[in-house]
Each structure stands twice: as C-alpha cells, then as structure tokens.
Amino acid sequence: MVMKLIKLMGIMFLILVSMVSTAQPERPIEIIASVDKNPVIQGEPFILTITVDDDVSEATLNIYEQLSGFHIISTGSSKRTSVINGVTTRTTSFVIHVQAPETLGPVVIPPIAINGSVSNEIELKVIDAKAADEAIEQRPAFIRTAIETNQVYVQQQFKLVARLYLSANLHSGNLSAPSMADADVAQFGNDEESYEIIDGKRYHVFQRTYLITPQRSGTYSIDGPIFNGQISRDATRSLFSSIATTQPVSAKAPATQIDVLPRPGDWQGHWLPAELVTLTVEQANPDAAVSVGQPLTLTYRLTAIGVNPEQLPNFNFFDNIAEVSVYPEAPELGSTVRNGRIIAQRSQTIAVIPRTAGTLTLPAATIPWFNTRLGTTQLAQTDPITIDVASSTTPLPELSVSQPVPAETVEPIIDGVTTSSTAVLGAQVTSSMPMWLSLFFGVLWLITLVAFVWLWRRTRRSPDTTTAATVSPSGTSLKEIQQAAQANDAKACEQALRQWGRNTLTLRMDDLLELAEYFQYEPLTSQLEYLQECRYSAYQHQWQEGKALLRALTAALRQHQRQASQSPVMQPLYPA
C-alpha cells in the first residue's frame, strides 16, 4: 500500500513539473549584427554578418525586404554545433554582401528580425573615396587603380592597372573586371605579384592590367574592379587550429573619370588611331623576268602599335589600274606583345597579272592613320613599283580579216550545244551531190538534231531544282580546263568550262557567266569576262591569263566548299 502511494506521488510530481515547464515562456534567441568595415567608401561592398544563437533556416531571414534600401550583392549562411560539458549549443551565421550607397554621411542599417527577435542597429558612415586613403590603408584589403591618361580618342586603347593590397595571406578570392559604358574591356597579360610596405605594414600586392577601348566619345566614369574573397586570420595554435581560420573580405576601387574625344571632323576613310603605323611590301623573286599573263606576287604588311588586329583596314591598292588583273588572297591577322604594348599586323598576298607588255608602274600604297601621341594625321606608304613586262613567249596566232578561217576552227553554238565540225564540212561537200540527196540528208540531220535537243532537255536537271550540286575538284573536265589554260588556248578552255559546267554543276551553260553567277566570286567573274572578250570581241585579243583563270577557279571551288560545309541545316518548325 505504501509503495503504491509513493508511485502515485511520483507521477503527480512529474506532471506538476511538466506543467510548470510548459508554463514558462520560451527563451528568446539572441541576434547580433556586425560589419567588416566602418566607415565605408561610396559604392564599396561590405559584409554584413548576422549571428543567431539557434538553428534557424535561411527562409526566416527575409533579408531583401528588411534591407530594401540597400543593394544586396549575394547572401550565404553557415551553421555550427558545439558540445561543452554536455551542453549543446547551435549557432547560425548569415553572411550578406552589401554595396554601400553613394550618399555621403551616416546611414543606418535597421535591426534585423528573425522569429520574433531583433538584432542591434548599426550606424554606417559613408565617406568620399578621394579623402579615404588613410582609412583604406587600415583595412586588410583595398584596391588602387591608375590609368595611362585622362584623355583619349574614340577607339584608342588605353591601360588601367589595378593593384590589390592584402595584409594577410590570400585563401581564395575573385577580382572582377572594371566596367565602362560603350567600351570594350579585356585583361592584358598575366597577373603580377609583389610585396610592398606602407607605414611599416607589409602587404601582398596582386597587379592586373586591363585594356579598355572606348567606342563612343564623351565623358565617362570607369567603375573600379571589385574583390571578394577569404583571407587567413590569426588563430591560437591548437589541435583544431586549421578549422575556421579564414575571414571574408571585400574591396572596391574608386571610380575614375576619363574624356573620350571624337575623331577630327575633316577625317575621311577608315579611322585608325595608333601610336605608330608602318606599311611594307615584298616582291617575290624581284630579279625574275615578268611577261604578260605571268602573276607577280606582292606581300603587303601593315603593322600598328596600340590597336587590335580587327581595327586594321582592308587593302584596296590597285582598283583603278586597267592594265592588270588583281587577285588578293585571304588576309592573315595577328598580334604580339612587346615592352608592354600590343603590336597588331595585317599581312596579305596579292597576285598582280599584267595584261599588256611594256613598262608597268604600280603606284605607292598609302594608308592614313591618326597619331595619338602627336594628335596629327600621318600616312603610312610604300614606294611605287616599276616593272618591265615582256610579251608572252607563246603568243597565239593572230587572225586577220583578209586571212581565210579554216572550217574546222568554226563551231556554231546552238542553245548551248556545240555542234561537231563535221557538220560544217558536210555542208561544204553537199554541192557535189544531187538536190534530192542533199535535201534528204538535211532533213535527216534536222530530225537528229531535234531529237538530240529533246533528249538533252529531258535528262538535264535545272540548277534551280537541284538540291545540292556537288563540286568535285577532280574530274576529266577539270583536267581539260587545266591543260587548255596552261597552254593559253582560249577556245579549248571555253569548251572545257562549258562541258564541266553542264556535266558537274548541271548548269545550262548558254553563257560562261553562268559559272560566275553560280560561284559569286569576283576574281573568277573578272577572268570569265575577259576570256569572253578575247574570244568574241571585234578586236581579237591574245588570251594570256590561263594561270590566272586556274588560280581564280581553284579559289572559287575552295570558297564554295567552305560555305557548303559551314551552312547550317534549318530544322523544321513543326517536326512530325
């Protein structure tokens, strides 16, 4: 009986204790807010750390609404649990990267509320960047920048050097590039490391250089680079000294003003602002004799300091010379770095083919450029080139009006089809045959011709309906073209071109210019026009540009194959 009474009293005591414990109010959590720097510079990022002595989720913070007056760059959180003498404590830390406002003076960070508890209020002082040198140097991380000049011309390159100072060892970090409206910004070279002592304090210095190319004139502000990272902090050596020995830091360089001048009002042509520009030309085999139809190879090199290769102009030196044919190859662009400056170069080989014998003078090549150091317009030019052009060693026989033309050299063209020379010879021998026999063979020949044309039209594929004509760089027709061109045989070359166009490209070939329309390559068009001029003009010209035609046709084939390989296949909008 006594035992039952004791058990009953124990149960009642436990119930009473539980009622008392539930009746006690829940202990409020403690929230502490702190910043990594105060004062801060205008627009400089700083770190706001909110420490909660409890395990809470990030969703309970709702920081974007509570700090609506500040620009929040990023947020993060971490949790820690420790057990000391059997007592378990949990801590949650929120790390918030915030950008300081541009307004000078005191700024208040309001109390942060989490689960009914609030943190302390922080009064933040925003100072001017120009008057903050002494305050900056007391921080574990700060950035200084310098530019070459405060005034540049549009599209003129200039350097911005950023130096990051750290008073502790760098654990990890990221340095973002500066930004400028209407300008291209790119890193130049590799980072450099050094050490510097300021007021007796040793700093680890990381230097990075940027190239900035403004695209429009006006007054601009260059926003400095921003650093966010982790540095090592002092910790008491113990068994756990390698844990949690880093602290977050951030820094931003002050903004820099720069004036971008427009190009001069009287400037015409391609705008090229540079420190130095040179233009040179090299002639392949300058001592070799040059004859009509033989290509003369010239290599032009344009070199400029302080520009990108894409800023160099194209070469159009011989557009107005009627005595030559000009065939430029694809240009080569490149750049290198010497003595901390970018040297850009454009190299292009041009084949010049004389059409007439005599003294040929190629004028001086000239490229205007703007000297950014002197602020004046200058010219980069070469010397003129004078060449004695000899007549071709294998001239074609000249045809005069008084000389009879052999019948076998005349081939009438009917609807793009060249008839056999035996038809013309047959027309000559019919005079010795009876009239009825001549009439019979004539009708038979006409029927045969009509049937041939009908079959040819039936089997021919129009280029408009051809899905993709395959251009092969080899074949019997191309070999015939090569042989005729190397022999400067205009007639044989024209026939081989027509046959190749019909058989390989499935073109009608009523005219050689159908090849020009097919390839859309200007050097080939010029050669085909000149071939037809030599063949059918009132004044017969000696065609001596077989090698030039082969060069242009080879380049046109390469361009066509390259375009065909690069053409994307459009997917159907509504696939089945």
pLDDT digits (tens, 9 = 90+) for 73-103: 888 888 888 888 878 888 898 988 888 888 8
Among 332-341, 442-451, 487-496, name the one with the lowest average pLDDT.
Answer: 442-451
Among 396-400, 472-476, 552-556, name the one with the lowest average pLDDT.
Answer: 396-400
Question: Distance (Å, rounded) from C-alpha 419 to C-alpha 402?
Answer: 26
User: By the 8 A CB rule, do 518 and 557 touch?
Assistant: no
Q: Which two tokens stand for residue 203?
A: 């700093």
Judge whether residue 361 has pLDDT over 70.
Answer: yes
> What percent of the chain has pLDDT above 90?
25
406 and 290 in one domain?
A: no
Total-model pTM: 0.58
> What percent of the chain has pLDDT above 70?
75
- Burial track 48-79 (b if 16+ CB lie within 10 A, e otherwise): bebbbebebeeeebebeebbeebeeeeeeeee
Q: Look at residue 210 in the predicted model and tell me its pLDDT.
A: 95
Kindly tell me the burial class for residue 140, based on how many C-beta atoms sit within 10 Å of its own C-beta (0-12, 13-18, 19 or more): middle
User: By the 8 A CB rule, do 529 and 498 touch?
Assistant: no
Positive/negative CA dihedral, 437, 440, 446, 447: negative
318 and 233 in one domain?
A: no
475 and 429 in one domain?
A: no
- 424 assigned to some structural domain: yes
Judge whether residue 418 has pLDDT over 60.
Answer: no
Question: How far, rounded to the nearest angstrom, does the alpha carbon of residue 114 sit from its chain's CA centroid?
Answer: 50
Of 201, 226, 261, the last residue of a domain is 261
Of 390, 415, 439, the last residue of a domain is 390
Q: What would the mean pLDDT of 489-496 be, rounded to a whole number?
A: 90
| DSSP of 299-368 | EEEEEEESS-GGGSPPP--STT-TTEEEEEPPPEEEEEEETTEEEEEEEEEEEEEE-S-EEEEEPPPEEE
Q: How confident is the model at residue 27 (pLDDT cuts 50, 70, 90)?
A: low
331 and 316 in one domain?
A: yes
- 68 assigned to some structural domain: yes
At how many degrees (to 10) do helices 546-566 and 522-536 cross?
A: 140
Q: Is 526 helix (H, G, I), strand (E, B) or coil?
A: helix
Q: How confident is the model at residue 340 (pLDDT cuts 50, 70, 90)?
A: confident
Q: Look at residue 575 in the predicted model and tell me its pLDDT.
A: 42
Q: 413 vs 8, which has greater pLDDT?
A: 8
Of 235, 261, 287, the last residue of a domain is 261
Q: How far apart are the first and last CA of the chain?
A: 89
Q: What would the mean pLDDT of 17-40 be, rounded to a whole number?
A: 69
Judge whether residue 562 has pLDDT over 60.
Answer: yes
Q: What would the mean pLDDT of 127-138 be, rounded to a whole number?
A: 68
Strands 117-118 and 113-114 turn out to be antiparallel
| DSSP of 61-110 | T-HHHHTTTSEEEEEEEEEEEEEETTEEEEEEEEEEEEEPPSS-EEEEEP
User: By the 8 A CB rule, do 100 and 43 touch?
Assistant: yes
Q: Look at residue 253 in the predicted model and tell me its pLDDT.
A: 87
Q: How confident is the model at residue 134 (pLDDT cuts 50, 70, 90)?
A: low
Q: What would the mean pLDDT of 373-390 be, rounded to a whole number?
A: 91
Q: Look at residue 100 in the predicted model and tell me its pLDDT.
A: 85
437 and 323 in one domain?
A: no
Q: Look at residue 183 in the predicted model and tell me its pLDDT.
A: 94
Question: How far, rounded to the nearest angstrom, does the alpha carbon of residue 224 sit from its chain's CA centroid?
Answer: 25
**Domain holding 323: CATH number?**
2.60.40
Length reported for the chain: 576
Q: How confident is the model at residue 403 (pLDDT cuts 50, 70, 90)?
A: very low
- 15 assigned to some structural domain: no
Q: 173 vs 445, which has greater pLDDT?
A: 173
Number of domains in the chain: 5
113 and 160 in one domain?
A: no
- 21 assigned to some structural domain: no
Phi, psi of 228 (to 5 degrees): -135, 130
Judge whether residue 248 has pLDDT over 70.
Answer: yes
Question: Distance (Å, rounded) from C-alpha 156 to C-alpha 306?
Answer: 8
Q: 187 vs 27, which has greater pLDDT?
A: 187
Q: Look at residue 395 in the predicted model and tell me its pLDDT.
A: 43
256 and 239 in one domain?
A: yes
- Burial track 536-566 (b if 16+ CB lie within 10 A, e otherwise): eeeeebbbbbbbbbbbbbebbbeebeeeeee
- 457 assigned to some structural domain: no
Q: How far, CA to CA in Å, does 393 sit from each of 59, 102, 184, 396, 398?
A: 91, 82, 56, 10, 14
For residue 399, the 8-state DSSP code is: P
Among 213-222, 303-312, 561-570, name the one with the lowest average pLDDT.
Answer: 561-570
Judge whether residue 539 has pLDDT over 70.
Answer: no
558 and 473 in one domain?
A: yes
**Mean of the per-residue pLDDT values of the chain:** 79
Region of residue 330 (left: phi > 0; alpha: psi -120 to 50; beta: else): beta
E-only strand ranges, 218-291: 218-222, 226-232, 246-252, 256-261, 273-274, 276-283, 290-291
pLDDT tens-digit map of 298-310? 999 999 999 999 9
Judge whether residue 425 has pLDDT over 80.
Answer: no
Q: Look at residue 273 in the predicted model and tell me its pLDDT.
A: 95
pLDDT tens-digit map of 444-492? 767 777 776 666 665 554 444 333 344 444 455 788 899 898 888 888 9
Q: Which two tokens stand for residue 360?
A: 């040929």
211 and 166 in one domain?
A: yes
301 and 254 in one domain?
A: no
480 and 378 in one domain?
A: no
- 561 assigned to some structural domain: yes
Judge whether residue 220 has pLDDT over 90.
Answer: yes
Which range of residues forms the domain containing residue 411? Answer: 396-448
Q: Look at residue 239 in the predicted model and tell me its pLDDT.
A: 47
Q: Is 402 helix (H, G, I), strand (E, B) or coil?
A: coil
- 455 assigned to some structural domain: no
Judge whether residue 187 has pLDDT over 70.
Answer: yes
Q: Look at residue 53 in the predicted model and tell me its pLDDT.
A: 86
Judge whether residue 201 has pLDDT over 70.
Answer: yes
Q: How confident is the model at residue 513 (pLDDT cuts 50, 70, 90)?
A: confident
pLDDT tens-digit map of 37-86? 888 888 788 889 999 988 888 788 888 888 888 888 888 888 888 888 87
Q: What would the mean pLDDT of 373-402 be, rounded to a whole number?
A: 72
CB contact set of 272 (below 8 Å; sequence gap of 6+): 304, 307, 311, 312, 313, 367, 368, 369, 370
- 225 assigned to some structural domain: yes
473 and 560 in one domain?
A: yes
